[in-house]
Amino acid sequence: MEKIQSIDEYIAAEMAGQIVRKRNSPASGLLLLAVGIGLLVLMHRTHLSDSLSAGALTVGLVCLAVGLVLTAMNFTGAMAHYLYKPTGKSLKSRTVYLEADDYRRCFEAIGAADAKALAALRPAGSTNSAVHVMHSTDWAVALLQAGRDDTGHFEAETQVLCLTGTEAALICKLCK
């Protein structure tokens, strides 16, 4: 039996030249870090009233903590995003929930690479049948995978379907 790849594995294996993973700039985290340190130094060097001193200390420590977390996440790659190189647009990730009948049709449409059948599906309320969609913000590319979503854990049941151009644009109806 063939192993089912996740969308991330598919991007790494099949679309390595077209979709790249970019890290966010650490500037926001470093700026908050500097503001926090600046407030703490300012509070230590000047004599402020007790309430103003407590407020400056609280704001300085919060800025320092948030700045440290953001900087660490940016440097470790935890806040990275995908970028579609031909258009320069970033990729967004969505999970669309479907009723059982639509899920069966979605399963067949992904197997047949039928974008029109996928576009005809309508999202449902709270079910565990889902389609994970990763698309560029201009809908130039869309990657789809059907599966089950139980308590936030997506279990893929189909291979990844990659749609580009007008076929990818048809999928935007499913995601709205």
pLDDT for residue 7: 86
Rg value, the chain, Cα: 23
| Amino acid making up residue 50 | D
In a shared domain, residues 99 and 163 = yes
pLDDT for residue 123: 83
Whether the Cβ atoms of residue 110 and residue 171 lie closer than 8 Å to each other? no
Whether the Cβ atoms of residue 133 and residue 169 lie closer than 8 Å to each other? no
User: In degrees rounded to 5, what are phi and psi of residue 156?
Assistant: -70, 140
DSSP-derived letter for residue 18 is: T
Whether the Cβ atoms of residue 145 and residue 159 lie closer than 8 Å to each other? yes
pLDDT for residue 62: 92
pLDDT for residue 53: 77
Across 34-168, the runs of DSSP E, i.e. the strands, are: 81-84, 89-97, 129-136, 141-150, 153-156, 161-164
pLDDT for residue 65: 92
pLDDT for residue 106: 84
Task: Tell whether 65 is covered by a domain.
Answer: yes
pLDDT for residue 150: 76
Task: Tell whether 81 is covered by a domain.
Answer: no
In a shared domain, residues 92 and 17 = yes
pLDDT for residue 66: 92
Task: Tell whether 47 is covered by a domain.
Answer: yes
Taking only the tens place, the pLDDT of each residue in 80-92 is 788 888 888 888 8
Burial class (CB in 10 A: 0-12, 13-18, 19+), 176: exposed
pLDDT for residue 131: 85
The set of residues, in sequence order, having a beta carbon less than 8 Å from that of 97 and lying 6+ positions away, is: 123, 124, 125, 126, 127, 128, 129, 130, 149
In a shared domain, residues 50 and 11 = no
Structural domain boundaries, residue 40: 27-76
Residue ranges of the chain with per-residue pLDDT less than 70 = 1, 77, 126
- What's the domain count of the chain? 2
pLDDT for residue 25: 79
The structure's pTM equals 0.70
Task: Tell whether 1 is covered by a domain.
Answer: no
pLDDT for residue 96: 84
